[in-house]
């Protein structure tokens, strides 16, 4: 029909979840109203995912008031008593996988003919969603892969092989912690497909597998998993992780003619050896244990930064990139900011409050000190005594919120990142000092120049601590980027001021929510204008 063999293969085995749903006889998730009565202990909230191996719902355990995930397997797979017994045996083994990088199994069983799991709910995104929004930076990939290795090694030590490692089954919490989902489910599906006709559901009518079908996602399968699916061992997970690692680094799946990742993107060439070793076609030539792969990845991460990230970017090149595009959706920044603060509320509120208390202590000796809440990130009306430590503190707070909006791990130490490197500390100090002097001079001479500079230099401190720019290039880039749409950004700051005033009206308590929300919104604006690499979920 005019199609080459490669195109036919791709049509027969599409990537991602499509491979599970392209079959016309694929499992169709039941509506919540159809089965909610089978789970009186749960309040079923919404359908959050589906595929050939079942459907996943968000639910709330009423007695514990805990959000959980309910996964139901397709009807029919558990009709045979022998399979139901094996399901129970396998599920008990899965319940023993108590590891911080593995989604916890709380409960399993059968209700109204439906086999089900009740599992830990992970509030975040999976790798497929992350890759769909923006490319993953090499340093982020080097943070994600060792955590997956830990999960796999723990499961393999307990005799459990995942058999379906792919981006959809790797979840990232809001703070960057990795959780691997669906351990053992592929094996259960294999068991369902192996049930002979005449024992429960006829094999030819199975919604999961037809004659000769292989359970899993073909683009992530090791060669032996396709050729001999019943004879695989833990090394198929290492191969699949190699595919995922390749995709994280390059944004692509490995081609028929496998090219090293460094031939496609600018990364440390030592990563080629790790990825290609994991993708060896013969199992005996791969890493024999996930822990070996983790050690190799961590050695590269520790000994040197990935290529292209070891030195500060060229300010002129960065400015050209920033000024070449439009940006800033005010409403979107505010919505994403609220979602971020709500998702990590107590950490962000507590650390922000601590930093503000320290700033107040630094400035308490200055008469007439007033905090301009709109510009708390980039500028405070500080005396010279306070500005020595205030600017590094504000820069650290900006970095903390940048990590929060990027879904990267952060902690209390992040807020003090401005004090860890004396060069960064010096540039933050100089940036704060120079901007305050020039803004004050602008207000003293004429009001409008002061207002202009106050708005235009909002990104100075974030640029210093995030991009490691010197203070003057950072000030210049901030001014150029914001001046492109100065009035729109001025309106954005007025909107933040309104949020803060509303928080103040709530007896002052609302400021504990309003201040982190406005900082997060300002950092989302920074991401959209300067960095442009943060996933932007549709809210």
Residues 27-70 have pLDDT tens digits of: 688 888 888 899 999 999 999 888 766 789 999 999 999 999 99
The CATH number given to whatever domain includes residue 138 is 1.10.510.10
Q: Tell which residue, 67, 78, 69, has the closest CA to residue 109.
A: 78
- Is pLDDT above 80 for 394? yes
Tell which of 121, 143, 164 closes a domain: 121
* pLDDT in the model for residue 251: 87
* pLDDT in the model for residue 231: 82
User: Which band of pLDDT confidence, cut at 50, 70 and 90, is reported for residue 223?
Assistant: very high
pTM of the model: 0.55
What's the mean pLDDT when you consider all of the chain?
A: 78
362 plus 451 within the same structural domain: yes
Q: Tell which residue, 70, 152, 52, has the closest CA to residue 111.
A: 70
Tell which of 311, 340, 361 closes a domain: 311
Q: Tell which residue, 460, 338, 342, 354, has the closest CA to residue 415.
A: 354
Q: Is residue 450 part of a domain?
A: yes
166 plus 32 within the same structural domain: no
Pick the residue with more confidence: 124 or 326?
124
- Is pLDDT above 90 for 150? yes
Please name the residues in contact with 115: beta carbons below 8 A apart, sequence gap of 6 or more.
Answer: 72, 73, 77, 78, 84, 87, 108, 109
The torsion angles phi and psi of 46, rounded to 5 degrees, stand at -165, 160
Q: What's the CA gap between 42 and 62, in Å, rounded?
A: 6
* pLDDT in the model for residue 167: 92
The tally of domains found in the chain comes to: 3
Asked whether the beta carbons of 194 and 231 are under 8 A apart, the reply is no
Burial of 337 (0-12, 13-18, 19+ CB in 10 A): buried
Q: Is residue 536 part of a domain?
A: no
Q: Among 20-34, 100-114, 358-372, whose mean pLDDT is lowest?
A: 358-372
Pick the residue with more confidence: 379 or 224?
224
User: Which band of pLDDT confidence, cut at 50, 70 and 90, is reported for residue 91?
Assistant: confident
Q: What's the CA gap between 446 and 26, in Å, rounded?
A: 70
User: Which band of pLDDT confidence, cut at 50, 70 and 90, is reported for residue 529?
Assistant: confident
Q: Is residue 326 part of a domain?
A: yes
- Is pLDDT above 50 for 377? no
46 plus 173 within the same structural domain: no
Q: Is residue 527 part of a domain?
A: yes
- Rounded to the nearest 5 percent, the helix, strand and coil shares of the chain are 55, 10, 35
Q: Could you confirm whether 233 is annotated as catalytic? A: no
78 plus 223 within the same structural domain: no
Q: Tell which residue, 425, 347, 334, has the closest CA to residue 387.
A: 425
Q: Tell which residue, 184, 206, 207, has the closest CA to residue 195.
A: 206
428 plus 279 within the same structural domain: no
306 plus 320 within the same structural domain: no
Cα distances (angstroms) measured from residue 4 to each of 9, 10, 198 = 9, 10, 40
Q: Once rounded to an integer, what is the mean pLDDT over residues 217-230?
A: 87
353 plus 488 within the same structural domain: yes
Q: Is residue 209 part of a domain?
A: no
From the candidates 164, 190, 268, 466, which is the catalytic residue? 164
For the stretch 464-509, pLDDT in tens is 998 888 898 889 889 888 888 888 889 999 999 998 888 888 766 6
247 plus 293 within the same structural domain: yes
Neighbours of 328 (CB within 10 A): 18
Range of the domain at 98: 21-121
Tell which of 289, 311, 333 closes a domain: 311
Task: Name the token pair of 423.
Answer: 């060069």
As a three-state string, the secondary structure of 183-214 is CCHHHHHHHHHHCCCCCCCCHHHCCCCCCCCC
Q: Tell which residue, 205, 222, 177, 166, has the closest CA to residue 51.
A: 166
For the stretch 403-433, pLDDT in tens is 888 877 888 989 999 888 888 899 998 998 8
């Amino acid at each position: 029909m005019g199609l080459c063999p490669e195109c036919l293969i791709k049509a027969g085995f599409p990537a991602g979840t499509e491979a599970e749903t392209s079959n016309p006889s694929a499992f169709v998730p039941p509506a919540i109203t159809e089965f909610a009565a089978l789970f009186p202990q749960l309040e079923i909230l919404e359908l959050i995912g589906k595929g050939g191996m079942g459907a996943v719902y968000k639910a709330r355990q009423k007695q514990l008031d805990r959000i959980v995930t309910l996964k139901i397997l397709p009807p029919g797979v558990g009709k045979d008593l022998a399979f139901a017994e094996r399901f129970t045996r396998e599920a008990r083994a899965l319940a023993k996988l108590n590891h911080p990088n593995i989604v916890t199994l709380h409960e399993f069983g059968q209700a109204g003919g439906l086999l089900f799991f009740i599992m830990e709910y992970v509030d975040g995104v999976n790798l497929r969603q992350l890759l769909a929004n923006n490319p993953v930076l090499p340093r982020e990939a080097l943070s994600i892969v060792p955590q997956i290795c830990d999960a796999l090694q723990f499961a393999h030590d307990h005799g459990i092989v995942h058999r379906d490692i792919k981006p959809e089954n790797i979840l990232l919490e809001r703070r960057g912690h990795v959780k691997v989902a669906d351990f053992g489910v592929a094996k259960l599906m294999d068991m369902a497909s192996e049930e002979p006709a005449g024992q429960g559901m006829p094999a030819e009518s199975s919604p999961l597998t037809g004659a000769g079908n292989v359970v899993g996602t073909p683009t992530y399968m090791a060669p032996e998993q396709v050729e001999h699916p019943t004879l695989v061992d833990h090394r198929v997970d290492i191969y699949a992780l190699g595919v995922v690692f390749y995709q994280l680094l390059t944004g692509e799946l490995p081609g028929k003619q496998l090219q090293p990742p460094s031939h496609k993107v600018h990364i440390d060439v030592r990563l080629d050896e790790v990825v290609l070793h994991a993708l060896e076609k013969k199992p005996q030539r791969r890493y024999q244990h996930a822990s070996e792969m983790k050690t190799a990845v961590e050695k590269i991460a520790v000994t040197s930064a990935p290529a292209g990230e070891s030195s500060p970017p060229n300010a002129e090149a960065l400015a050209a990139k920033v000024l070449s595009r439009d940006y800033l959706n005010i409403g979107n920044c505010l919505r994403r900011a609220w979602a971020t603060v709500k998702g990590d509320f107590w950490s962000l509120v507590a650390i922000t409050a601590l930093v503000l208390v320290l700033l107040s202590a630094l400035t308490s000796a200055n008469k007439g000190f007033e905090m301009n809440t709109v510009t708390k990130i980039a500028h405070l009306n500080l005396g010279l005594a306070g500005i020595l430590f205030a600017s590094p503190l504000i820069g650290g707070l900006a970095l903390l919120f940048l990590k929060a909006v990027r879904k990267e791990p952060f902690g209390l130490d992040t807020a003090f990142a401005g004090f860890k490197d004396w060069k960064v500390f010096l540039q933050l100090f100089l940036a704060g000092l120079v901007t305050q002097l020039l803004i004050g001079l602008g207000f003293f001479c004429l009001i409008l120049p002061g207002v202009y500079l106050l708005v235009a230099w909002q990104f100075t401190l974030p640029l210093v601590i995030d991009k490691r720019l010197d203070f003057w290039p950072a000030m210049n880039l901030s001014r150029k980027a914001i001046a492109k749409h100065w009035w729109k950004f001025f309106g954005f700051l007025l909107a933040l001021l309104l949020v803060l005033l509303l928080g103040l009206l709530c007896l002052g308590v609302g400021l504990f929510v309003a201040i982190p929300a406005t900082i997060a919104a300002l950092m989302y604006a920074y991401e959209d204008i300067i960095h442009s690499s943060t996933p932007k979920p549709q809210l």
